[in-house]
Amino acid sequence: EENGHQDKRLKRDADEEDAEDRNKKSPKRKIVLLMAYSGKGYHGMQRNVGSSQFKTIEDDLVSALVQSGCIPEDHGEDMKKMSFQRCARTDKGVSAAGQIVSLKVRLIDDILEKINNHLPSHIRILGLKRVTGGFNSKNKCDARTYSYMLPTFAFAHKDHDVQEEVYRLDRETLEKVNKLLACYKGTHNFHNFTSQKGPRDPSAKRYIMEMYCGEPFVRENVEFAVIKVKGQSFMMHQIRKMIGLVIAIVKGYAADSVIERSWGEEKVDVPKAPGLGLVLERVHFEKYNRRFGNDGLHEPLEWTEEEEKIAVFKEQYIYPTIINTEREEKSMANWLNTLSIHDFNSSAVGMQANNKNSK
Give the CB-side neighbour count of residue 314, counting CA atoms within 13 A.
19
The angle at the Cα of 10, spanning 8 to 16, to the nearest 5 degrees, equals 100
**AA letter at 309:** K
Nearest-angstrom CA–CA distance, 325 and 112: 30
Nearest-angstrom CA–CA distance, 30 and 282: 20
Residue 146 annotated in ligand binding: yes
Nearest-angstrom CA–CA distance, 335 and 240: 12
- Per-residue b or e along 133-165, where b marks 16 or more CB atoms closer than 10 Å to that residue's CB: eebebeebbebbbbbbbbbbbbbbeeeeeeebe
322 and 185 in contact (C-beta within 8 Å)? no
- Per-residue b or e along 306-344, where b marks 16 or more CB atoms closer than 10 Å to that residue's CB: beebbeebbeebbbebbbebbbeeebbbebbeebeebeb
99 and 45 in contact (C-beta within 8 Å)? yes
Catalytic annotation on 91? Answer: yes
Q: At what angle do helices 238-250 and 171-182 cross, to 10 degrees?
A: 140
> How many Cβ atoms are within 10 Å of 97's Cβ, its own excluded?
24
Of 238, 240, 235, 231, which Cα lies nearest the Cα of 211? 231
User: Which of these is catalytic: 91, 159, 161, 295?
Assistant: 91
How far does Cα 165 stand from its chain's mean position?
28
Contacts of 14 (CB under 8 A, 6+ apart): none
Nearest-angstrom CA–CA distance, 359 and 355: 6
Cα-flanking dihedrals φ and ψ of residue 124, to 5°?
A: -130, 145
SS3 assignment, position 314: helix
> Which segments are annotated as binding site?
146
> Which segments are annotated as binding site for substrate?
146
Task: List the catalytic residues.
Answer: 91
